[in-house]
Amino acid sequence: MRIRTARLATVTSALAAATLMATVGCVAGEGSAAEAGDSTAGSEWSTDTLNIDFATYNPLSLVVRDQGLIEKELGDAVEVNWLQSAGSNKANEALRAGAVDVGSTAGSAALLARANGSPIKTIDVYSQPEWSAIVVGPDSDVTSVADLAGRSVAATKGTDPYFFLLQALEANGVDPADVEVQNLQHADGRTALDNGSVDAWSGLDPIMAAAEAESGDELLYRNVDLNTYGFLNATEEFVTEHPDVAQVVVDAYEEARAWAQENPEEVSALLAEVAGIDPEVASTVIEERSNLGVDPVPGDAQRAVLEKVGPILVANGDVPNQQQVDDALDSLFDTQFVEKATE
């Protein structure tokens, strides 16, 4: 596969506002006339703009973007703007602000956002990754999770590594109140570990895999069951007002999934280029820690994982009460697009 030079579009607040104010045009074949002055008049699509994220922790987003799968389907009638998410917390911020219509998060982060009032829907499961672990330096005297009591750990709040840390502490009998959590973005957490500012880091791939290869950092604690899947989320407004374009997005993801499973080396090369990491590190992430063949329809498997995370969110003060978590979990999944895409 020839890897094209990535196109980065800066999504400004003005663009986000324009997207939110766009009126819904007439979808071809529905028989209703477009409003006068509607920018989608004469177009078969319900909007003329799609704002969507890509992330190094979401390999399928890299394939969709690199191969122009969405642009090929929408044509010139819809401008597709790509915004990079540095973590689930950043994707959630962009979704809440309307800067993106579709964003990539971990399942735990999507639940947290919806439980706290963010109007998002999960429309696809892009992976079942082992992307989180607790990491220590090569000469660390921390040899178990129990040793973290009284120590400092870097983690990005609102992301899977943060919830992974809380679950790991609980599973090993450590009170989270006894651990100093330094809220640092993922890359900054690695830096803090390497310069000795923290005793451990709850890491995220591909940064975590690079830390192993480049700094000799070690994975102190791994547990794939504490990782909460990769969720593709859309704003409720986008799903309701632009279902035709939402379907194009999910169709593109499922096309990318099929291609990625047949071409793991090319996906690894793409990740290496976008993330700026060694190809062997990227191969570790894609071929050893990413299950792209997961059932893409959000359902019982994801709910079972999130039901374990929910009480932790409440106990830690991230969500005011369990009822908000339960309501969010009951309303988070929207399976219509991925069910159609996989028929």
DSSP conformation letters of 254-317? HHHHHHHHH-HHHHHHHHHHHHT--HHHHHIIIIIHEETTS--S-SHHHHHHHHHHHHHHHHTT
What is the structure's pLDDT at 203? 97
What does the alpha-carbon distance between residue 268 and residue 59 come to, in Å, rounded to a whole number?
9
- Weakly modelled stretches of the chain, pLDDT under 70: 1-42
What is the structure's pLDDT at 23? 35
What is the structure's pLDDT at 40? 55
What is the structure's pLDDT at 29? 34
Q: Which helix (H) or strand (E) holds 183?
A: strand 180-183
β-bridge pairing 132-136 and 200-204: antiparallel
What is the structure's pLDDT at 33? 33
Judge whether 112 and 227 are in contact, CB under 8 Å: no
Please list, in sequence order, all residues whose beta carbon lies within 8 angstroms of the beta carbon of residue 201, skipping any fewer than 6 positions away: 134, 135, 136, 153, 154, 155, 189, 190, 192, 193, 211, 217
Q: At what angle do helices 88-97 and 107-115 cross, to 10 degrees?
A: 40
What does the alpha-carbon distance between residue 227 and residue 44 come to, in Å, rounded to a whole number?
40
What is the structure's pLDDT at 43? 73
Q: pTM for this structure?
A: 0.83
What is the structure's pLDDT at 25? 38
β-bridge pairing 132-136 and 120-129: unpaired
Query: Which residues partner with 171 through β-bridges?
Result: none
Judge whether 125 and 233 are in contact, CB under 8 Å: no
What is the structure's pLDDT at 42? 58
What is the structure's pLDDT at 41? 55
pLDDT per residue as tens digits for the range 79-91: 999 999 999 999 9
